[in-house]
Structure 1
């Protein structure tokens, strides 16, 4: 009985880790607020207010997790943000 519980727990941990990735956008001194906002709207499908809030967090805290999901879901968004000249990574 204990072995089955350990298998189920291991499976749940694997699922949680895969879905628990975050897309982080970092502050820089190059890109304007409007550019970052427009990029988050276009690439991450944020509503304008959400993109504005994330942009302010990026500016004042140096970075912001703008999206959560699986690596496969976040990778094209990260690439789109980087293509727009904004630094981002998946953690």
Structure 2
């Protein structure tokens, strides 16, 4: 393969790696989990302050869902998995 073609391919790969599509970690309301459980989970998993977690929990309660974190798929997937393991419905969108 010619050097200039190889350099062009490498440059394209590097550009694609640096451009990450920002996504939302969305948490959904249910009739099962308590406010305290959701708040504590957001503090632990998303590293929210108490105030952030409380505000998100109220939004989840009244609006049915809330974006609790923004980031790349790679960043959000472990958080989503941990929230779901805690019995709370969450999706990355």
The question of a shared fold, defined as TM-score above 0.5 by the shorter chain, is answered with yes
Which one of 59, 83, 86 corresponds to residue 57 of structure 1? 59
In the superposition, the TM-score normalised over structure 1's length comes to 0.81
Deviation of residue 57 (structure 1)? 0.2
Q: Which runs of 5+ in 1 are unaligned?
A: 1-10
Two-structure CA RMSD over aligned residues (Å): 1.7
Q: Distance in 2 between matches of 1:72 and 1:28?
A: 26
| Structure 1 segment 76-87 matched on structure 2, within 5 A | 76-87=78-89
Q: Which has the larger radius of gyration?
A: 2
In the superposition, the TM-score normalised over structure 2's length comes to 0.80
Question: Is the Cα contact below 8 Å between 1:19 and 1:68 reproduced in 2?
Answer: no
Deviation digits for residues 52-80 of structure 1 (CA, Å, limit 9, x no counterpart): 00000000000000000000000000000
Between the two proteins, the alignment pairs up a number of residues equal to 79
Instruction: Tell me which stretches of 4 or more aligned residues in structure 1 moved more than 6 Å.
Output: none
2:45 corresponds to: 43
2:73 corresponds to: 71
